[in-house]
Amino acid sequence: MISTNDVRAGMALNLPDGLFQVVDHQHTKPGKGKAFVKMKLKNLDTGSLAERTFRAGENVQDAKIDRREYQYLYKDDMGFHFMDAETYDQMAVSDALIGDAASFLSEGMTVQLPIFEGNPIGIDLQAAVEIEVTYAEPGVKGDRVSGATKPVTLKTGLVVQAPLFVEQGDVIKVDTRSGDYITRVS
């Protein structure tokens, strides 16, 4: 148990409604009445946001989430398969838990899986990943306007807007939060 006065952003709480991550919290002491803590919580099962108000000093159950390094192996009809980097145990994670992160996963990539009571509850990607370009229309000579972009298809199937100089076979760095092109690696 943890006091609501000690709750910080990023912590996980095991509430009667389910498992939640604290997005934001605010401790308020009105001029009249008792202090309270208002929290913005993200449901880790559904991804929905909710606001809850707790009395200051009220105890809530904190959730111990284990974040471990896993290597992405492959995808099949059971889901995405990962291997623990230390124990070599394999784990299948459902498509619903991976969500939009699937378009950034490539075989052999190392990711962090948050695990609660032996079950994965999501995936934590790096801020940027390097992915090979599998298709890019060739640039036309003279078509070198500053800042111009073209759609390129990556090895994972993701299509991003990249500068005209990016060609098929190049490896580019992509921001996993927004899906934007960052730079060409090689």
Question: Are the C-beta atoms of residues 109 and 124 closer than 8 Å to each other?
Answer: no
Let me know whether 38 and 72 are in one domain.
no
Is pLDDT of 33 > 90? no
DSSP state for residue 6 in the 8-state scheme: G
| Segments forming the whole domain that contains residue 84 | 66-120
What CATH number is associated with residue 9? 2.30.30.30
**Can you tell me the mean pLDDT for 19-27?**
88
Let me know whether 6 and 47 are in one domain.
yes
Task: Give me the pLDDT at residue 23, please.
Answer: 86
Task: Give me the pLDDT at residue 182, please.
Answer: 92
Smallest CA-to-CA distance from 13 within 116, 125, 122, 124 is with 116
**pLDDT per residue as tens digits for the range 127-186:** 899 999 999 988 766 666 667 888 999 998 899 999 888 899 999 999 988 889 999 998
Question: Is the entire prediction scored with pTM above 0.75?
Answer: no
Let me know whether 7 and 48 are in one domain.
yes
**pLDDT per residue as tens digits for the range 45-94:** 777 888 999 998 889 988 888 888 999 999 998 889 999 988 999 998 88
Spatial distance between the Cα atoms of 136 and 153, rounded to a whole number of angstroms: 7
What CATH number is associated with residue 113? 2.40.50.140
Question: Are the C-beta atoms of residues 175 and 183 closer than 8 Å to each other?
Answer: no
Let me know whether 15 and 41 are in one domain.
yes
Q: How many domains does the chain have?
A: 3
Let me know whether 45 and 89 are in one domain.
no
Spatial distance between the Cα atoms of 72 and 85, rounded to a whole number of angstroms: 10
